[in-house]
Amino acid sequence: MFFRWDWLRTVLTAPIVPTLGPVHPDALTVDVFEDILRASVTGDFLPYDKDRRWGGAKDEAVLRGDVVHQPEHTLIPTLARRGRGTLKVFAYGHLGNVVDEAAELAAKLAAVHDVVNARVVRPLGPETGSPRGTRIQLQDFTTRACPDPDGPVLPVTDWPATVQETFAPFAEAMAGDGLAFLHTRMQAGGCGPVLAAAVEDRIVGAIGPMEVRPDAMGRPQLMPQYFAVLPEVRGQGLGRLLWRAAMHWGQSHGASYQLLQTEVDGPSDRLCQAEGLISLGFSHTTRA
């Protein structure tokens, strides 16, 4: 093994793993960190990688030879070649200078690999109450029921054809939230169902794809979804309706849990907090 679990365990303030993102706290083991090192050599998707469902090749990989692993901190750099390239260093440690050391490493490696973007990703514990960044949230389907909400939400393919035809312009309008990409996957038949809300025979909100896959421990996880509502219809409860419909779908299809990443104090963050999700910590990303 490369990693010493007694060193790594003490600095894992939030369940974030390089190239994988958030994982369930119970799956945060040394084996997962060893797996991402092995995948950096083969270039393959891990069986439980959430990006595996999109096909193609894994773009982000750990720079195994540049990992810094010491008793008080661990720095794990990753490289993604998509676009103009992004170099990230995941900084695990409690000492105040860990971010500075990570930034120095990120800048150096970005120059070596000739990429434009250099970032430091700092996982932070839930007790920090981070005013910026991304919150990691857990929806546990084993602790309470998620009833089917009453409202105008159906899988896109269950709406009449005239309503289905309005999904394309909706997806284009919400391209910044990933809906245009999702639409291409839907057209290719490469994803699970997408739930949509319609008002006056026009789709105005959607969440999906809805898929359940096993995690690193073999437990069924509801995979992350794209989620958007048109700005002009926000404030009418449609986002909450879509969210509850998605949670009902996940629970009724055997999911044990779902992990979400929400922008701190953003609309989705406030919704998840109001719905009683558990905060597992934060991820704060800065330029190197």
pLDDT digits (tens, 9 = 90+) for 6-57: 999 999 999 999 999 999 999 999 999 999 999 999 888 999 999 998 878 8
Expressed as residue numbers, the domain containing 104 is: 5-131
According to the model, what pLDDT value does residue 96 have?
82
- Say what percent of the chain tops pLDDT 90: 86
Strands (E), 81-225: 86-93, 117-124, 134-140, 153-155, 195-199, 202-208, 212-214, 220-222
Is 85 in the same domain as 155? no
Residue 270 is assigned to a structural domain of this protein: no
**Is 231 found in the same domain as 190?**
yes
pLDDT at residue 190 above 80? no
Residue 264, in any domain of the structure: no
Q: Has residue 129 got a pLDDT over 80? A: no
Tokens for 67? 């990992």
Q: Count how many Cα atoms sit within 13 Å of the Cα of residue 114 in the half-sphere of its side chain.
A: 0
Nearest C-alpha neighbor of 113 from the set 35, 60, 73: 60
Specify the pLDDT at position 267: 86
Residue 130 pLDDT exceeds 80: no
Q: Is residue 161 part of a domain?
A: yes
Q: Which residues of 148-172 are buried (b: 16+ CB within 10 A; e: fewer)?
A: ebeebbbebeebeeebeebbeebbe
Q: Are 12 and 28 in contact (CB under 8 A)?
A: yes
**Strand spans (E) along 125-199:** 134-140, 153-155, 195-199
Q: In this structure, are 125 and 148 located in the same domain? A: no
The answer to whether 118 and 107 have CB atoms below 8 angstroms apart is yes
Q: How many domains does the chain have?
A: 2
The predicted structure's pLDDT at residue 237: 93
Structure confidence at residue 133 (pLDDT): 92
The 3-state DSSP class for residue 199 equals strand
State if pTM tops 0.85.
yes
Compute the average pLDDT of residues 55-83: 93
Decide which of 97, 131, 165 is a domain's last residue: 131
Domain shared by 127 and 9, yes or no? yes
